[in-house]
Amino acid sequence: MIDKKTIVGLLLIFGVFGVWMYITQPSEEERAKMRQKQDSIAAAQIRAEKEAEKTAQVVEQDSGIDIEQLAELAKGDDSLASVAQKQLFDNFGVFSEASANQERKLTIENELLKADLTTLGANIEQVTLKDYLTYQKDSVKFFTKGGNSYGLNLTLGSKILQTKDLNFEVFVNDKPYSEDKTLSVKGNDSLVVSMRLYTNADTLNKDRGYLEYRYTLRGNDYRIGFSIVTNNLNKVIADKGMLEFVWNSKLRMKEKDKSVEVKNSSIYYLLKDEVEYLKENGVDDQKEESGVPIKWISFKQQFFSTALISESGEDFAYAKMQTNTEKFQKDDYLRTMTANINIPFDDEKKTYSYDMSFFFGPNKYSIISDYKIDMEQIIPLGWGFFLLHWINRFVILPVFDFLQSFGWSMGLIIFILTILVKIVLFPLAYKQFASTAKMKVIAPEVQKINEKYPKQEQAMQKQQAIMNLYKRAGIKPMAGCLPMLIQFPILIAMFRFFPASIELRQQSFLWADDLSSYDSIINLPFNIPFYGSHISLFCLLMTVAQLFYTRITMKQQPQNQGMPGMKFMMYFMPVMMMFFFNSQSAALNYYYFVSLCFTFLQMFIIRKTIDDKKVLARLEANSKKPLKKSKWQQRIEAMEKQNQAILAERQKQQQRRK
């Protein structure tokens, strides 16, 4: 509670504050002067706003008004023109006159793509591929208008000029070009479109310098040559040795499943001889590389990519790359990619050119590998250290391309490819299934050994007896494990191959409308966690086949009394796989289903070749013969004798203590 002293103190403080306010308040004459001053300030602000509005109209970038028109616009106010000129020069330096250029559009095309160019920043605004459609049946486009921008950040004195904010002048084959028609090129012909940003007329005496972005389009190429040329700018640009190039793009959805497309979108780049990348799976990430040359930087999507490739002797010296997923974007928005790149620049030369190229095309191995710059590694064919990449590259891809050359449907090609893989792996599968079948035959003998050595301390003896039994029956336990290990990389390689194959994109088969994505027979009005909002029939068929396969293999194996939960786990795994594979590509589920069906046929054939009576007869005949002990068995026996000796010594010591 507040005591009396506190209340008195507060009253005194408020009293002193009130007396001070009364004493220091201004007189009536002082108040009149303050009102007059405020009115003058308000009038000055109104005049300043009107003058600023006129100036803004003069310096507006897209107005198209020449510097010579400023005096007329000023309507007798000479100071207005000078203010506008000063404002332009402060913003754009020696390129201030070019800031009045109007924006123009230009379209160039070859047999594979069409590129829309804009003079604003001399940018490629949009690229359309002619041979590919989106899942919504629209032409595949890289970027939407305004979704791709790039340019240099030039140091002019104490200011930074961003070239993406200025309109360049258009030249075609080094001649000024003012038409709006589309320029086309075919076959081995090429087309050169230059966009130049000139310095002011009175700059550097009368020898005007310029910055040029030169684009070269060839008839049958997904690349567009891109060169940055500086002419007579070495005394204008303050940058030494390097120029900063900034590239920003917003990627748009092209496929059926947006979640899968986001997971497969990231930035890849070639760092010396190794391909590196930023995190995938929709995780925002950034990396900074310096000191090691960078050959190319690619903004990769699931089946299409944009890349900036160095074509000069010197590669990029530095790059800061970042992926970002912005909120509140359109439904077709995926991710934003940004790269700040340092490109070499010889500031001593009057004329300098740095050659690059843009790639706008599909992630198709046969296309990208022809460029000989290791960019085909952006296609996720699997890890090289586990043979997955090499199996897909040198085995699966050539066979797949060979089958595709016959013009068959993709469903038939996958079926034949599956059968070929199973036939190649049949010798290994035979050893695996034969070993399992023989072990099933001698299962009663194994059970007798288990009953003979029930104690834990007899484990070594039991193991030795079982191994002798296998040897007498002609069974090699590793014959069942090694074939499985050898087949495993091939099975995983196929798991990586089908979702990454653009050849399967939008290829229909039976009820699947796109083999590269999931098939759906029912779209659910709700989402099931870890499963999705659809039901894949190929996934269900694969799950049923997997359960049937589990039932067959469980019957062929001897019962393991020591692991009662193993049977449950064996049946539970296919159900778990159904949740994981429901959103996988239809081609992958179809492949596993066909592979399992062919496996059933293999197991039936192999089981018919195993004669139970012969296996038992061989076991009975060999049981009368002495077994030659291997070095491994000799070591096991030595260890067993040593353990028995130690155990016997412990028992003697315990008896003595008693």
Of residues 484 and 55, more confidence is placed in: 484
Tell whether 54 is covered by a domain. no
Q: Check whether residue 202 and residue 262 sit in a common domain.
A: yes
Q: 129-159 pLDDT, tens per residue?
A: 999 999 989 999 998 877 899 999 998 887 8
Of residues 129 and 24, more confidence is placed in: 129
- pLDDT value at 463 more than 90: no
Q: What pTM did the predictor assign?
A: 0.75
Confidence of residue 479 (pLDDT cuts 50, 70, 90): low
Q: Which domain holds residue 111?
A: 98-379
Of residues 596 and 476, more confidence is placed in: 596
Q: Of 379, 410, 445, which residue is a domain's last? A: 379
Confidence of residue 433 (pLDDT cuts 50, 70, 90): confident
Q: By CB neighbour count within 10 A (0-12 exposed, 13-18 middle, 19+ buried), where does 187 fall?
A: exposed
Q: Check whether residue 503 and residue 374 sit in a common domain.
A: no
Q: Check whether residue 370 and residue 396 sit in a common domain.
A: no
Residue range 36-44: mean pLDDT, rounded = 46
Of residues 73 and 511, more confidence is placed in: 511
- pLDDT value at 326 more than 70: yes
Of residues 638 and 326, more confidence is placed in: 326
Q: Check whether residue 615 and residue 504 sit in a common domain.
A: yes
Q: 517-573 pLDDT, tens per residue?
A: 999 999 888 888 888 889 999 999 999 998 888 887 777 665 554 455 667 777 788
For position 226, what pLDDT does the model report? Answer: 96
- pLDDT value at 68 more than 50: no
* Residues contacting residue 452 through CB under 8 Å, at least 6 positions apart: 462, 465
Of residues 106 and 443, more confidence is placed in: 106
Q: Distance (Å, rounded) from C-alpha 287 to C-alpha 277?
A: 9
Of residues 88 and 278, more confidence is placed in: 278
For position 639, what pLDDT does the model report? Answer: 73
The secondary structure of 438-470 as a DSSP string is: HHHHTHHHHHHHHHHS-SGGGHHHHHHHHHHHH
Q: Check whether residue 309 and residue 217 sit in a common domain.
A: yes
For position 623, what pLDDT does the model report? Answer: 60
Q: Name residue 277's beta-bridge partners.
A: 268
Cα-Cα-Cα-Cα torsion 24, 25, 27, 29, nearest 10 degrees, comes to: 110
Q: Using a pLDDT cut of 90, give the percent of the chain over it.
A: 37
For position 48, what pLDDT does the model report? Answer: 40
Q: Of 344, 379, 414, which residue is a domain's last? A: 379
Q: Check whether residue 553 and residue 577 sit in a common domain.
A: yes
How many domains are there within the chain? Answer: 2
Joined together, the tokens standing for residue 308 give 């900036």
Average per-residue pLDDT for the chain: 80
Of residues 606 and 76, more confidence is placed in: 606
- pLDDT value at 420 more than 60: yes
What is the SS3 assignment for 262?
helix
Tell whether 449 is covered by a domain. yes
Q: 380-408 pLDDT, tens per residue?
A: 887 655 567 788 888 888 899 899 889 89
Strands 304-310 and 351-362, by their bridges, are: antiparallel
CATH number for the domain that contains residue 371? 2.70.98.90
Q: Distance (Å, rounded) from C-alpha 191 to C-alpha 172?
A: 8
Of residues 57 and 644, more confidence is placed in: 644
Confidence of residue 323 (pLDDT cuts 50, 70, 90): very high
For position 1, what pLDDT does the model report? Answer: 45
Q: Produce one character per residue of 281-304: b if its CB has 16 or more CB atoms within 10 Å, e if not.
A: ebeeeebebeeeebbbbbbbbbbb
Q: 372-382 pLDDT, tens per residue?
A: 999 999 998 87
For position 43, what pLDDT does the model report? Answer: 47
Q: Check whether residue 477 and residue 502 sit in a common domain.
A: yes
- Compute the C-alpha angle 367/372/374, nearest 5°: 90
Joined together, the tokens standing for residue 343 give 């490109």
Q: 203-256 pLDDT, tens per residue?
A: 555 678 899 999 999 999 999 999 999 998 888 888 888 999 999 999 999 999
Q: Check whether residue 106 and residue 199 sit in a common domain.
A: yes
**Sign of the C-alpha dihedral computed for residues 15, 16, 17 and 18 taken in this order:** positive
Tell whether 453 is covered by a domain. yes
Q: Check whether residue 437 and residue 563 sit in a common domain.
A: yes
Tell whether 295 is covered by a domain. yes
Q: In degrees rounded to 5, what are phi and psi of residue 602?
A: -60, -45
Joined together, the tokens standing for residue 218 give 């060839």
Q: Distance (Å, rounded) from C-alpha 153 to C-alpha 192?
A: 24
- pLDDT value at 652 more than 60: yes
Residue range 113-125: mean pLDDT, rounded = 94
Q: Distance (Å, rounded) from C-alpha 6 to C-alpha 567?
A: 80
Tell whether 48 is covered by a domain. no
Q: Check whether residue 146 and residue 177 sit in a common domain.
A: yes
For position 613, what pLDDT does the model report? Answer: 67
Own/partner contacts of 539-542, CB < 8 Å, gap of 24 or more, are 539/578, 539/581, 539/582, 539/584, 539/589, 540/578, 541/589, 541/593, 542/577, 542/578, 542/581, 542/589, 542/592, 542/593, 542/596
For position 360, what pLDDT does the model report? Answer: 96
Q: Check whether residue 324 and residue 433 sit in a common domain.
A: no
Q: Distance (Å, rounded) from C-alpha 206 to C-alpha 224?
A: 34
Query: Residue 392 gets which letter from DSSP?
Result: I
